[in-house]
Amino acid sequence: MRGVGIGTSQIMDYMVQQSGGYNNVGFTKKDLYNHVDADRRVHLRDGDAEGALAYLCGKFEMDSSFYYKYNVDEDNHLANLFWADSTSKLDYSCFGDVLAFDTTYRTNAYKKPLVILVGINHHHQTIVFGSALLVDESLSTYTWVLETFLDAMNNKKPLFVITDGDKAMRKAIKRIFPDSCHRLCAWHIQRNAFTNVHVKDFTNHFSKCMFMEGTVEEFECAWNDMLEMFNLHGHKWVTDIYAKRSRWAEA
């Protein structure tokens, strides 16, 4: 029914009617939405995968330094797809000491995570080192992305890797870049501070602690003053982010 364009909600109503009630369907509406979403992510429409690969193959024919790689799942559907052009590879050879690794929300038609691997050049401009469409956000998938990225960049490893703190991503980084320093993205942390701690002016004080230059002792003093000021002793998010301070505090 999805294949001919019937909406998920209408499908559920039809199933309920055919089975004689919600209790007889065997799944909830949420189950159905989850199934449809998972199916959309994994199964590409006929021709889309072939079209994407043909396009990348054409780019390689025009640029011998263009790099792309993909793998398939057990049903022979396209799973993960990575690509980087010659400019990206040249930029990485010059500015690849710091690598920012993050996934955007699933805004594409198949709800597949889009990974952009970026850095900063000597003009403080953002530059793209590579891109990937993923089947999921698991440890094995992130490991594949980083291994593929390393292969594309002639095995040059970054000195610093900046992420949003995803656990699977962090494990993959430790596995593939064991000697690289892993830092958390300041923008993500500030956004999470605003989302998780609903106390006026907390975010401003938190940012001051994050970016303050000084000794560890000065940071600890400022942090404890903030906890006292806003009465945040025992707050779960504050406690959790404090435990990770070595990956985000300037001090």
Model confidence at 22, pLDDT cuts 50, 70, 90, reads confident
Residue 77 pLDDT grade (very low, low, confident, very high; cuts 50, 70, 90): confident
CA distance 229 to 204: 13
Distance from C-alpha of 1 to C-alpha of 36, rounded to nearest angstrom = 11
Given the structure tokens 């509406």, which residue do they identify?
29
- Residue 167 confidence (pLDDT): 77
* Euclidean distance between CA atoms 196 and 199, whole angstroms: 9
pLDDT of residue 169: 84
- The string of pLDDT tens digits covering residues 209-218 is 999 988 999 9
Going from the C-alpha of 110 to that of each of 11, 46, 130, 151, 218, the distances in angstroms are: 20, 13, 20, 27, 48
As a whole number, mean pLDDT of residues 78-88 equals 93
The domain defined by 48-184 folds into Nucleotidyltransferase; domain 5 (3.30.420)
Tens of pLDDT, residue by residue over 133-183, are 988 888 999 999 999 999 999 999 999 998 876 778 888 988 999 988 877
For the segment 96-113, what is each residue's pLDDT rounded down to a tens digit? 999 998 766 555 666 678
pLDDT in tens, 192-205: 888 899 999 999 99
Domain spans, the chain: 2-42, 48-184, 186-247
d(CA 88, CA 92): 6
Torsions phi, psi for 128 (to 5 deg) = -95, 125
Separation between Cα atoms, residue 115 and residue 71, nearest integer Å: 16
* Backbone φ, ψ for residue 183 (5° rounding): -120, 150
Q: Which percentage of the chain shows pLDDT scores above 90? A: 47
